[in-house]
Chains A and B, each alone.
Chain A
């Protein structure tokens, strides 16, 4: 079983719709959860971090964490073509080394 799993996609949504990206993780000791956006040929850009169960909103982005079910999701409201990218889920294990485990990423396509 992979430590962090994401559906590789592509996930295709029309412009203006809500895009829902999901991630599951295997280690119950995971402490911190992150969503990165990566455009083709570019490096990952941090867009959301979440540490407690529930929802965290930042503009058009909402991160949702459910530690009991071991999943974290990212909702993008009013999706724009510029949101088309690969979204990486990353999980920090309970360790002192700051080690993040990344999923393979979900490719999102927003069609005008």
Chain B
């Protein structure tokens, strides 16, 4: 595997389900990110992990719960989601160094909440 991988690529879930999105980066980076991309809206940053510590939580509802067990893996745990949470969820990684921050994205998980 190379770059940033995400699984699953597609997910359909009911509002009462619990599911998790997985991201893995093979670039040796030290920062990882979750973004949400909804139709007709800019990419929205959700969470930032730097050196496995969460350094940014962009006012995301508690039904989204991130986890970063090590610098290569990032999870997004989902529970009791709403239909408006249907979107493309993107993971990215970067080698953090000011002022540079080239972020590389995974292919995304297309989430549909019924």
Instruction: Decide: A97 and B108 in contact? CB cutoff 8 A.
Output: no
Instruction: Decide: B41 and A98 in contact? CB cutoff 8 A.
Output: no
Residue of B nearest to A2 (CB): B42
Residue of B nearest to A34 (CB): B102
Instruction: Decide: B105 and A96 in contact? CB cutoff 8 A.
Output: no
B31, B42, B45, B105: the one within 8 Å of A45 (CB)? B105
Q: How far is the CB of B102 from chain A (nearest CB, A)?
A: 6
Please indicate the chain A residues that have their CB under 8 angstroms from the CB of B98 in the complex: 31, 96
Q: How far is the CB of A101 from chain B (nearest CB, A)?
A: 8
Instruction: Decide: A98 and B105 in contact? CB cutoff 8 A.
Output: no
B55, B103, B106: the one within 8 Å of A46 (CB)? B103
Which of A4, A102, A104, A105 has the most chain B CB within a 10 Å cutoff?
A102
Q: How far is the CB of B86 from chain A (nearest CB, A)?
A: 15
Q: How many residues of B contact A (CB 8 A)?
A: 26
B41, B102, B107: the one within 8 Å of A42 (CB)? B107
Instruction: Decide: A46 and B48 in contact? CB cutoff 8 A.
Output: no
Instruction: Decide: A103 and B42 in contact? CB cutoff 8 A.
Output: yes
Residues on B lying within 8 angstroms of A by beta carbon are 31, 33, 40-43, 45, 48, 50, 55-56, 88, 90, 94, 96, 98-108
Known: A92-B101, A99-B45, A102-B42. 12 other contacts (CB 8 A): A42-B107, A43-B88, A43-B90, A46-B104, A51-B100, A88-B42, A96-B50, A97-B48, A98-B101, A98-B103, A100-B103, A104-B42
Residues on A lying within 8 angstroms of B by beta carbon are 4, 31-32, 34, 36, 42-46, 49, 51, 88, 90, 92, 94, 96-105
